[in-house]
Structure 1
């Protein structure tokens, strides 16, 4: 896969424009094909949140990304504490932090919270932003209402009890209302102002398809998390070999998802390769809801999970992944004890396909929508080509691809099953976090069928829904754990996805990058990083 690759003209221009001063500058090559949007709710999936979400725009709840020995948990952010209302499990009370200001100097208070919630959830509000609303509603689908209690307190009501709601609130980010007014109430202009958040970095320059520049926010409210670098430059470099070329040339300091067969030579040249097991899965989403879909039959969905050569794919990826046999890793205590333990077993896969009416005379044929690059997508084209050949050889399954840009694929994941935008796709290759029960609910609850939520598959399992309801209403940790295990067993035995691999989050860095922590999370804390 690795070969010399010329840098695109736009990238070369962005690199040439890098700050040339004594300031410390961290330059990062992202996998995105374009700069994520900069209004305060970035697109481009969780890579957008990683680099142009949390570092600039924060939520009432934040991730704790300082540890590597456990799954990342949530911690107080713009709210210093929260609790469920004593008389109503559907209502959460958030107590806002004192002394926080947006980058433009305006105060963060309850009015700013309500203004932003209206931006996402109130379609007739002047500040309603449709793209950002679509992203936020899908990640926090339980929000049913909200109100200002006083200047430092807000209440958010959910449509049903949800013990895990703070893990949804972590994805609701806040932008200064003054940014909207300064841009003439035009969100397209807000993105180039630049917009103001409350985070440890502030945006200083936006050049679409080239770069976004950040600077340390010297007025950040959390003095223990002041950024160690003066500036950060974020550049979209969607092609893996172009990212490696930029790193080797000293034009960037850090790249996401290096091409696996380039890793040994990068190590030999003195670059640092970081990997780590974390809650993230690289699957195919089955389109179960489409009219006439062969994936309506659970035997077909199970069969494909027995036909995949996960170990062969991991070898192909130079060990930068581990096998996925469920939404959670098999080592996770909440994996449970499902009846199916997926592995490469072509005989069983073929038998299940035969029961469903498929075989040599009528081979199963599927069209899969895949991306050229993107957030958490690893190496999507060569990996999917491997699977295409693998499934043909093991179980005589014919796979064709519709290759699209990453954001187009993300949009398809929120479409109805027979929407023209899907172009007849039977499955989507979209990577996903598997970090907590809130994500599980978003992706698999029958209440969150697309376009409301991320249940693209239109999957419904009564036992899963009942288990999810139990853990949502419970407060006892053991009851929650038991129900979580029962729910996950259904995700394995009645699979809405083809489980393929969990990636190991590889990135390559110059040895001058210091202090980086690879947490058990999709997100990272850039405030910890320093460069000379």
Structure 2
């Protein structure tokens, strides 16, 4: 199905032309961005390419009911209203939520946003009997909001959402459900007579309600966006003439494109090129992010990581300060999924640090030695959303862990393939013998930070518990947090959960990202929030 959809999209794009001449890009106020992705993230409403997709084709073309506040650099991002102005859980039935919607929003095609549009967008990923259901969008949506079960329009601008169980995390989850235009899709369906073909046509000519609209699209080459002058939020109505997204998965290629003036902004510049970038007058924007760069470990039968001593030893065996130097200083040193000052910290008894002697002692106790190392295989990518510098970082770990009797094999594959394998799990054939996977993740909300990796209800394909980690104790702690609707009670429950996760160590916690991105000094209005995301809409070009 995926290959067929790719052919359909290509057919829909065959007649498209670039609306902005290449020679004009540097003269106009066009912001050109070099992404780490190897392809343009999907444009049909639910992006792929991890959260880089959300950043560049989700939050630009579309809106969600709730959103992250990305307007501040000195405070953590929090959930704010977006297409919904307010929401509340039913005090009599905590599986029902009421969302009040904005009444002044239209999609790019001119059709209105309303409660029926919300129901339609929920059904596109949850209702297999809906004529517009799209299985290709399910994996990057349903796994991010696994308790959402349905939606019902109460009136034109009020919608009821239901969950399979009480879930205080739902407002966080809904930041990932982007609202596409039902009317625009219907027009594509009327033209094609086939749902899959309609989605392919929609992807080539999408319609959301976001601050930008698509004007030209060439897969693996470029996506061009123009401002939505009628955008409903004045604070995010674009000042730019347009945005061009260019896939540049290799760090040195991105750096060369910036230095030569081909782009104005690159994600994750090559660390050893940062002094040159700065000496040439470019600015490095960076801020500590709620983000983990880990190895996620397999608990499948036969995995060497089933022994907690081995898991602890791997977390103790390498010097993160040395790795931080390798990355030009653009890395945070983790003590767990969240830092000790975070309300979810919980003071775990296992201290993540560099302690070679203790790591070697644990490995010896577990039966390993230099003559009898433990063999582990790690799937990773050469680039990708939030992956920082995956090849040099993994090669560093490969060398460092030898001192603790680990024989590490790296399986380097394309980022989107790694991401797909992540959803399939360690027991799936796609693991190809790997017993660890390197996929970075955001820790902005409880579900993304902890629940989807530790709940036994989150085993693949439901969500991202790739390693099949979990037990009754962890599930009970999750239940406490999920059913706590008061923030202080929820934080206390999450602190207990985080402490147990660190103690059990289903990850090798390697780094926190600081999100370095290099930009031309022509780019103004940049706010680098304490978030995985950044908002392009308020930016401008001198």
Task: Give the TM-score taking structure 1 as reference length.
Answer: 0.94
CA deviations on 1:356-414 (whole Å, 9 max, x unpaired) are: 2222342111010010100000111111111101111x202100111100000000111
The reply to whether residue 346 of structure 1 matches residue 351 of structure 2 is: no
Tell me how large the CA RMSD over aligned residues is.
1.7
Q: Measure the CA separation in 2 of the matches of 1:309 and 1:397.
A: 15
User: CA–CA distance in 1 between the matches of 2:343 and 2:185?
Assistant: 46
Structure 2: how far apart are the matches of 1:446 and 1:283?
A: 20
8 Å CA contact 1:192–1:205 kept in 2: the answer is no
Partner SS state of residue 326, structure 1? coil
CA deviation vs aligned residue, 1:109-159 (integer Å, no higher than 9, x gap): 111111111111112222111121111011111112222212211111111
Moved more, 27-36 or 151-160: 151-160
Please state whether the residue corresponding to 1:114 is helix, strand or coil: helix
The correspondence of residues 377-526 of structure 1 with structure 2, limited to 5 A, is 377-392=387-402, 394-439=403-448, 440-526=450-536
SS in 2 for 1:414: helix
Contact 1:45/1:410 (<8 A) preserved: yes
Deviation at 1:188, TM superposition (A): 5.0
Tell me if structure 2 keeps the 8 A contact 1:206–1:213: yes
Residue pair 1:215, 1:232 contacting (<8 A) in 2 also: yes
Paired with 1:153 and 1:331, the residues of 2 have a C-alpha distance of 39
Equivalent of 1:125 in 126, 130, 143: 130
> Distance in 2 between the 1:133 and 1:458 partners?
21
After TM superposition, give the deviation of residue 19 of structure 1 in Å.
4.1
Cα distance in structure 2, aligned partners of 1:456 and 1:21? 44
Change (3 A) 1:202 1:359: same
5+ residue gaps, structure 2 = 1-17
286, 289, 300: which one aligns with 1:275: 286
Match of 1:43 among 38, 45, 48: 48
Name 1:309's counterpart in structure 2: 319
Aligned counterpart for 1:106 among listed residues 111, 116, 122: 111
* 1:48-77 deviation per Cα after TM superposition (whole angstroms, max 9, x unaligned): 100000111111111111012221111111
Equivalent pair of 2:123/2:130 in contact (CA under 8 Å): yes
Paired residues, number: 518
Alignment of 1:219-258 (within 5 A): 219-258=230-269
Describe the shift of the 1:327–1:519 C-alpha distance in structure 2 as closer, same or farther (beyond 3 A).
same
Equivalences for residues 142-161 of structure 1 within 5 A: 142-161=147-166
The answer to whether the Cα contact below 8 Å between 2:19 and 2:216 also exists between their aligned partners in 1 is no
Counterpart-to-counterpart distance in 1, 2:465 and 2:459: 4
Distance 1:404 1:104, change over 3 A: same
Residues 1:197 and 2:197 aligned together: no
Change in 2 beyond 3 A, CA 1:18/1:306: farther
Which of 151, 171, 175 matches 1:166? 171
Query: What's the secondary structure of 2:215's corresponding residue?
Result: strand
Gaps of 5+ in 1: 1-12
Q: Measure, in 1, the Cα distance between the counterparts of 2:179 and 2:458.
A: 24
